[in-house]
């Protein structure tokens, strides 16, 4: 599959990746809670599993998020197949117990969530998942991936499909992201973190996930300091890297700015005194995504200003 070169939402990249997965022959069966068109979670040729067609790989779960998660667990527990379910990230809370049970039982269920931040815009606070990413990351033995572009999304899908002994969430954007221009491999991506943009002699390190990696790289070109940007598609895998590797990526002598359009709780184990976390600790609002981003500082100029502040403290 040729890599995308133009900006695209990661839900589009995920749909492209699933489009080449040959359904039941690849060991996957699932679908969405009536949101296949929005999440892009359609397997292979789109054939639907049902009473008259047991070869279809797509299940129409209806608007039943908890039941969907439980069925994905059951498929993973009682057959050679991997169960897949998908909905908007905000509605992960409706299937919370099913997600937790998939981790307790170490089932290889795959949970796909799109519309991943307050940047969904006019849908408002009911659809803007401020607190959901920290909740998912707090579930033991449950992997949470938030890819930043097309290559990351495809590498994450390959890793998740190859890992059958624990569940995973793949968290995807509705808004477009730039394609990262750094040299990297799928191994770099699935390690949890890698350098997405670099300079000689960096003075500040910015760590970001998903959509905010694009914002961080844009900020670099506005900043008056030399800045390295890390993409961190999986925070727990980043934390589990060796101390030497973490020091290589984010030297302890350099100040850090962490950026994610979600509650900042996930980053308190990475940011230190004097560092900054740009996040969202209040409910969102019904407004265009650009206005919401500006209000919360999740913009290139907001990241630029944070870079200047942490650099000044050194």
For residue range 171-181, what is the model confidence (pLDDT) as tens digits?
Answer: 999 999 999 99
User: What whole-number distance in Å separates Cα of residue 182 and Cα of residue 92?
Assistant: 32
Q: Which of 116, 145, 177 is the last residue of a domain?
A: 177
- β-pair type (276-278, 256-259): parallel
Query: Is there a single domain that holds both residue 92 and residue 18?
Result: yes
Identify each DSSP E strand in the chain by its residue range: 8-9, 28-32, 58-60, 82-88, 110-114, 143-145, 168-171, 176-177, 194-197, 204-208, 227-231, 256-259, 276-278
- Of residues 264, 195, 196, 191, the one with CA closest to residue 234: 191
Does 193 fall in a domain?
yes
For position 121, what pLDDT does the model report? 82
Query: Is there a single domain that holds both residue 129 and residue 190?
Result: no
User: What whole-number distance in Å separates Cα of residue 227 and Cα of residue 229?
Assistant: 7
pLDDT band at 209 (very low <50, low <70, confident <90, very high): very high
Domain that residue 131 falls in:
8-177
Options 6, 65, 131, 143, the catalytic residue: 65
Instruction: Read off the pLDDT of each residue in 217-241 and give the average, rounded to a whole number.
Output: 96
Query: Is there a single domain that holds both residue 169 and residue 237?
Result: no
Active site residue 65: yes
Does 222 fall in a domain?
yes
Query: Is there a single domain that holds both residue 247 and residue 224?
Result: yes
Q: Which of 148, 177, 206 is the last residue of a domain?
A: 177
Query: Is there a single domain that holds both residue 123 and residue 242?
Result: no
Query: Is there a single domain that holds both residue 259 and residue 292?
Result: yes
For position 53, what pLDDT does the model report? 83
Residue found under tokens 């990262």: 180
Query: Is there a single domain that holds both residue 19 and residue 142?
Result: yes
Q: Which of 155, 177, 199 is the last residue of a domain?
A: 177
Q: What would the 3-class secondary structure string for 282-300 be?
A: CCCCCCCHHHHHHHHCCCH
User: What whole-number distance in Å separates Cα of residue 249 and Cα of residue 238?
Assistant: 10
Q: What are phi and psi of 310, to 5 degrees?
A: -70, -30
Q: What are phi and psi of 113, to 5 degrees?
A: -130, 125
Query: Which domain CATH number covers 286?
Result: 3.40.50.920
For position 314, what pLDDT does the model report? 64
Query: Is there a single domain that holds both residue 44 and residue 165?
Result: yes
For position 26, what pLDDT does the model report? 82
Over residues 91-131, the pLDDT tens digits come to 999 999 999 999 999 999 999 999 999 888 888 899 999 99
């Amino acid at each position: 599959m040729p890599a995308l070169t133009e900006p695209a939402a990661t839900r589009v990249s995920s749909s492209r990746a699933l489009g080449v997965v040959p359904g039941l022959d690849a060991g996957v069966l699932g679908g969405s809670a009536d949101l296949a068109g929005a999440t892009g979670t359609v397997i292979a040729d789109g054939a639907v599993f049902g009473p008259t067609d047991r070869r279809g790989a797509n299940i129409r779960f209806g608007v039943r998020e908890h039941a969907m998660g439980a069925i994905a667990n059951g498929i993973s527990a009682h057959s050679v197949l991997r169960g897949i379910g998908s909905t908007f990230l905000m509605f992960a809370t409706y299937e919370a117990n099913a997600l937790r049970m998939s981790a307790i039982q170490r089932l290889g269920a795959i949970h796909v969530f799109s519309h991943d931040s307050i940047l969904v815009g006019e849908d408002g606070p009911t659809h803007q998942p401020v607190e959901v990413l920290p909740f998912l990351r707090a579930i033991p033995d449950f992997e949470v991936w938030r890819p930043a572009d097309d290559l990351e999304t495809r590498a994450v899908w390959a890793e998740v499909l190859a890992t059958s002994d624990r569940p995973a969430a793949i968290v995807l954007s509705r808004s477009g992201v730039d394609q990262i221009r750094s040299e990297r491999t799928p191994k770099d991506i699935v390690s949890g973190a890698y350098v997405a943009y670099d300079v000689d002699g960096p003075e500040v390190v910015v760590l970001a996930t998903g959509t905010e990696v694009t914002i961080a790289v844009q900020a670099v070109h506005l900043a008056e300091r030399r800045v390295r940007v890390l993409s961190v598609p999986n925070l727990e895998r980043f934390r589990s890297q060796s101390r030497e590797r973490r020091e290589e990526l984010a030297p302890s002598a350099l100040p850090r700015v962490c950026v994610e359009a979600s509650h900042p709780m996930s980053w308190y184990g990475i940011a230190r005194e004097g560092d900054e976390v740009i996040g969202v600790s209040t409910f969102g609002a019904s407004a265009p995504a650009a206005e919401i981003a500006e209000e919360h500082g999740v913009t290139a100029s907001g990241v630029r200003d944070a870079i200047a502040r942490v650099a000044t403290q050194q």
